[in-house]
């Protein structure tokens, strides 16, 4: 069940942004389609993306909107003179920085593995006070790669190793994963259940962490 949230406090007459999120570069497409209120800030959208894609929020991230970079500046900021300025994502509201439908922007997670996501604003819909969920996943396909598996190339290698029981790294990779992994698995219903636990309109890193740990079956 999707957690019921007061539509008045959630939407406040904001337009609804329908986004398609695609993980760039994988052989078989990994994607999600979500709806979020236009008065959400990019920090809150980051939390939504971590839940719907399947990441663990264990690394830095940033949004790339044309020439502007946004991130959590408490953890990620320009390091050297001449580096692009990084703006605070919690001060950037969707309907202010993404005013047009069909806008395409980037979301990068984990600067080491460099998981690049292409995000398309498919539609900007009128406010809908009848919808009780703040964020809603409409559809999607395939499981998220495990964190720290080495980026797209490492993930494709991992899938080959898991498929071949005779591979010399098969056992060690299964032990590293620590759980069964089905690359084709994705549940819209389960994803919406976790989205319903996300605090609105602000979410702390600790609260997001609790949701992600519960989603992944981990104890705090």
Q: Distance (Å, rounded) from C-alpha 148 to C-alpha 168? A: 20
Is 60 exceeded by the pLDDT of residue 57?
A: yes
Average pLDDT over residues 191-205: 96
Q: What is the DSSP string of 167-212?
A: STTHHHHHHHH-S---TT---HHHHHHHHTTS-SS---HHHHHHHH
Is 50 exceeded by the pLDDT of residue 28?
A: yes
Q: Distance (Å, rounded) from C-alpha 208 to C-alpha 185? A: 22
Is 80 exceeded by the pLDDT of residue 10?
A: no
Is 90 exceeded by the pLDDT of residue 165?
A: yes
pLDDT tens, 92-101? 999 999 988 8
Q: Distance (Å, rounded) from C-alpha 6 to C-alpha 12? A: 10
pTM above 0.85, yes or no: yes
How do the domains of the chain map onto residue ranges? 7-142+186-215, 146-181
Name the CA radius of gyration of the chain, rounded: 18
Q: Distance (Å, rounded) from C-alpha 162 to C-alpha 173? A: 7
pLDDT band for position 160 (cuts 50, 70, 90): very high
Indicate the DSSP class of residue 78.
-
Q: Could you tell me what percent of the chain has a pLDDT over 90?
A: 82
- Cβ contacts of residue 72 below 8 Å, gap of 6+? 43, 46, 61, 88, 89, 90
Is 60 exceeded by the pLDDT of residue 124?
A: yes
Residue bearing tokens 């904001």: 14
How do the residues of the chain divide into helix, strand and coil, expressed in percent and rounded to 5? 30, 25, 45
Is 70 exceeded by the pLDDT of residue 4?
A: no
Q: Distance (Å, rounded) from C-alpha 32 to C-alpha 188? A: 9
Q: What is the mean pLDDT of the chain?
A: 92
- Cβ contacts of residue 89 below 8 Å, gap of 6+? 41, 42, 43, 46, 63, 70, 71, 72, 73
Average pLDDT over residues 111-127: 96
Is 70 exceeded by the pLDDT of residue 119?
A: yes
Q: Which fold has domain 7-142+186-215?
A: 3.10.290
Indicate the DSSP class of residue 89.
G
CA angle 207, 8, 48 (to 5 degrees): 35
Phi, psi (deg, nearest 5) at residue 50: -60, -40
Question: Please, which residues bridge with residue 103 across strands?
Answer: none
Average pLDDT over residues 131-135: 85
Is 90 exceeded by the pLDDT of residue 1?
A: no
Q: Distance (Å, rounded) from C-alpha 162 to C-alpha 100? A: 43
pLDDT for 130: 76
Is 60 exceeded by the pLDDT of residue 3?
A: no
């Amino acid at each position: 069940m999707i957690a019921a949230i007061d539509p008045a406090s959630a939407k406040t007459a904001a337009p609804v942004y329908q986004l398609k999120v695609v993980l760039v570069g994988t052989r078989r497409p990994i994607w999600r389609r979500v709806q979020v209120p236009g008065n959400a800030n990019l920090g809150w959208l980051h939390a939504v993306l971590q839940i719907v894609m399947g990441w663990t929020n264990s690394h830095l991230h940033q949004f790339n909107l044309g020439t502007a970079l946004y991130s959590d500046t408490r953890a990620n900021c320009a390091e050297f003179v001449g580096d692009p300025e990084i703006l605070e994502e919690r001060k950037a509201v969707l309907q202010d920085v993404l005013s047009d439908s069909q806008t395409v922007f980037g979301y990068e997670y984990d600067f080491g593995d460099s998981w690049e996501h292409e995000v398309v604003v498919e539609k900007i819909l009128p406010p809908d006070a009848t919808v009780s969920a703040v964020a809603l996943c409409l559809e999607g396909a395939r499981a998220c790669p495990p964190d720290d598996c080495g980026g797209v190339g490492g993930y494709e290698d991992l899938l080959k190793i898991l498929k071949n029981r005779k591979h010399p790294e098969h056992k060690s990779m299964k032990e590293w994963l620590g759980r069964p992994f089905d690359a084709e698995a994705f549940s819209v219903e389960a994803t919406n259940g976790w989205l319903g636990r996300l605090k609105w309109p602000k979410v702390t890193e600790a609260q997001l962490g609790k949701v992600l740990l519960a989603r992944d079956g981990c104890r705090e």
